[in-house]
Amino acid sequence: MRTLLCPALHEGRLHLDAAASHHLLRVLRAPRGATVRLTDGLGNEAEGELVGVDGERAELHVGRVRIAPPSPIRLVLLGTPKPALVEEAATLATEGGATALWLVASERSHPGTPRLDRLERVVDSATRQCRRADRPELAAHASLSHALTALDWLPADGAPRDRYVAQPGAAGVPAGGSEGGVALAVGPEGGWAPSELGALAAAGFIPLGLGPHVLRAPTAVLAGLTALAVGRLSCW
């Protein structure tokens, strides 16, 4: 069943916005009577039936709205890599179950500010593709110190309990993994600078090995999220 994002999800008669209507009617070419899965990106979902078209907007009848099981907190701090890799990292973070992706302008980051409006659309597409009921939060931070301060200000129920920094040659995830949320810091090309590694260590981040090889930033994001989800003990 196809999945569409619908921020104003509610039971009963509902008109999709222009983008979702175009995707359903023009891209998927859904016929009248087709059933789709709807999510609002906040953890709510429902099934809807296409019952008509009002101008250019698809008209659906939506059944009972359900609350999907919440995702465990998985916050990724990514030292912004070169532009060609940012969108790939956002896609893989979404597929890997990240609940938030914070882009950090680190000392070795590519110059320039990522286009968050473009990344929002990338994340929306990835959320639909992997059929998530919630979508990751996107944010950009001007420095690692700014991101770490924001991390400390998160409310207790939304703060990750364990913190890891991807680092070649380090040990794997401790046996059993974490029962609470986790934060994963992944550096850009060339990794975090020594001063940034010191700041991460002072903030409670412990080194996490992701295998015997040096990974690209997007690969490290997905490998780290997978390793933390599985929680297997591995030493490299």
pTM, to two decimals: 0.80
Bridge-based pairing of strands 57-62 and 44-54 is antiparallel
- Tell me which of 57 and 169 has the higher pLDDT: 57
What is the DSSP secondary-structure string of 48-101?
Answer: EEEEEEETTEEEEEE---EEPPPPPPEEEEEE---HHHHHHHHHHHHHTT-SEE
At residue 179 the predicted structure's pLDDT band, cuts being 50, 70 and 90, is low
Q: What is the pLDDT at residue 195?
A: 97
| Residue of 194, 222, 202, 193 lying closest to 210 (CA atoms) | 222
Share of the chain above pLDDT 90, in %: 62
Residue 191 has pLDDT above 70, yes or no: yes
For the beta carbon of residue 128, count every other beta carbon within 10 angstroms. Answer: 20
At residue 176 the predicted structure's pLDDT band, cuts being 50, 70 and 90, is low
CA distance to 67, 164, 190, per residue, from 78 (Å): 29, 12, 13
Instruction: Provide the CATH topology of domain 74-230.
Output: Alpha/beta knot (3.40.1280)
- Quote the tokens at residue 27: 């891209």
For the chain, which residues make up each domain, given as ranges?
Answer: 3-67, 74-230
The Cα–Cα gap between 40 and 158 comes to 19
Residue 178 has pLDDT above 80, yes or no: no
Express each pLDDT in 70-103 by its tens digit: 778 999 999 999 988 999 999 999 999 999 999 9
The whole-number average pLDDT for the span 40-50 is 89
- Tell me which of 209 and 156 has the higher pLDDT: 209
The Cα–Cα gap between 3 and 129 comes to 7
At residue 47 the predicted structure's pLDDT band, cuts being 50, 70 and 90, is very high
At residue 68 the predicted structure's pLDDT band, cuts being 50, 70 and 90, is confident
At residue 232 the predicted structure's pLDDT band, cuts being 50, 70 and 90, is very low
What number of helices (H) and strands (E) belong to the chain? 6, 12
The whole-number average pLDDT for the span 157-179 is 79
At residue 8 the predicted structure's pLDDT band, cuts being 50, 70 and 90, is confident
Q: What is the pLDDT at residue 215?
A: 93
CATH 3.40.190.10 for domain 3-67, yes or no, is no
- Lowest-pLDDT range, 131-135, 175-179, 187-191, 226-230? 175-179
Taking all residues of the chain, what is their mean pLDDT, rounded to a whole number? 89
3-state secondary structure of 37: strand
CA distance to 20, 23, 42, 44, per residue, from 128 (Å): 11, 11, 13, 13
Longest CA pairwise span in the chain (Å): 59
Share of the chain above pLDDT 70, in %: 94
Q: What is the pLDDT at residue 57?
A: 92
At residue 67 the predicted structure's pLDDT band, cuts being 50, 70 and 90, is confident
